[in-house]
Amino acid sequence: MDLNFSAAEQEFRGQVRSFLREHLPADLTAKVFGGKRLEKSDYVRWQKILHAQGWGAPSWPKEFGGTEWDAVEQLIFDEECADAGAPVQLPFGLKMVGPVLMAFGSAAQKNYFLPRIVDGSHWWCQGYSEPGAGSDLASLKTRAVRSGSSYVVNGQKTWNTLGQHADWIFCLVRTSAEGRPQEGISFLLIDMKTPGVQVRPIRMLDGEHEINEIWFEDVKVSAENLIGEENRGWTYAKFLLGHERAGGVGIGFCKRELKKLRQIAHAQRCAGRPLIEDARFRDRIAQAELELMALEITTLRVISAERRKSGAPGPEASILKVKGSELQQQITELQMQALGPYSLPWLPEALDANWGADALLADYPEYAPPLSGRYFNFRKTSIYAGSNEIQKNIISQMILGL
């Protein structure tokens, strides 16, 4: 098997690099490389720039405004964007609800929502987990009762990412108490401006407002916003989770952060010499690089298989999710260990774009304070999209047959 990129793929890489040099705003790059906080306007601006180029939806079919790139082209695009310091494209519309709409939505839903996802007009968020329904998602209790041509929704969602910016939320709601718990769930699209929707912030370990509780009190939602059939939402939810797990691997991010890790290891000194010369630490970096190479090859296989069958990734997406999340945690942890005493201070204000280093930190590397916050933030990667323990159960049952 030839693992080298073809001439056409290398030419494509050159096109992506040229585009990024010309169109990626310098202030966005400075924020990404500096570990600064990205605002809603930053994400939306970058999405609109990509849309103007025709690259707003790298994994979508052309009929829905996508590029229809193959697996290798998608991987190259992701890698080059990460290496150049571009903001990530938000997955909630592009990689979660978008594929569900394409597969199960009505013609009217596709015509209305899909173009607004690609051009950045609509910011989506996810309404799956509840205080008593996370890994055991089928036990969710948020109810939607049919009333004429509408549903009335009451309940609570939690661990909602960036919902404070969202225009719409895709929700799993209980529409029936009959039969198995999975059989009474529906998939509903809700406008966040609807009366009765309340967003309450949850502060994370790094002090940031990234996640929320979403409360629904007598929220009236048109039945036209139901995806597919009533009580068939569990099928659509599993389809979405396959895309979320396969799309959250973070290969481009890992490559960029490995490069930063090597830079830190060259700059930091241990026993009077650069840390990179310590054989044991250098071996740990090499181990992460080897695991990332293996993950990249496996990801290409999964994406290619998904394209051939035109469906959601199968249980193999759980392998990508487990390994991708562990690698992201491993790399950010190695960065912290490479910094040694410099990794101790955590300053939330360091995420502000206009923050100037405190005089007490004059001797610290400029990237030190944001790195500790990133370490805290990436503790969550092994939990979202289904905890890694759940993913290992899926792998053992559906792949290994245990």
In terms of Cα–Cα distance, which of 397, 237, 258 is closest to 318? 397
**Distance separating alpha carbons of residues 247 and 387, to the nearest angstrom:** 15
Is the separation of the CB atoms in 154 and 218 below 8 Å? yes
Q: What is the pLDDT of residue 10?
A: 94
Per-residue pLDDT of the chain (402 residues; tens, 9 = 90+): 456 778 999 999 999 999 999 999 999 999 998 888 899 999 999 999 999 999 999 989 999 999 999 888 988 999 999 999 999 999 999 999 999 999 999 999 999 999 999 999 999 999 999 998 877 888 999 999 999 999 999 999 999 999 999 999 999 999 998 888 889 999 999 999 999 999 999 988 777 899 999 999 999 999 999 999 999 999 999 888 776 666 667 888 899 999 999 998 998 888 789 999 999 999 999 999 999 998 888 887 776 665 555 555 667 778 888 888 899 999 999 998 998 887 776 777 777 877 766 655 666 676 777 778 788 888 888 877 777 787 788 778 777 776
Sorted by where each starts, the structural domains of the chain and their CATH numbers stand as 7-89 (1.10.540.10), 124-231 (2.40.110.10), 248-398 (1.20.140.10)
Question: pTM of the predicted model, to two decimals?
Answer: 0.86
Q: What is the pLDDT of residue 244?
A: 63
Token pair of 125, please?
A: 């968020």
HSE at residue 11, side-chain half, CA atoms within 13 A, is 3
Size of the chain in residues: 402
- For residues 240-270, one letter each, b for 16 or more C-beta atoms within 10 angstroms of the residue's C-beta and e for the rest, the string is bbbbbbbbbbbbbbbbbbbebbeebbeebee
In terms of Cα–Cα distance, which of 261, 259, 253 is closest to 325? 253
219 backbone dihedrals φ, ψ, rounded to 5°? -85, 120
In terms of Cα–Cα distance, which of 59, 58, 44 is closest to 119? 44
Q: Which residues are catalytic?
A: 244
Is the separation of the CB atoms in 79 and 252 below 8 Å? yes
**Distance separating alpha carbons of residues 238 and 313, to the nearest angstrom:** 10
Q: What is the pLDDT of residue 1?
A: 46
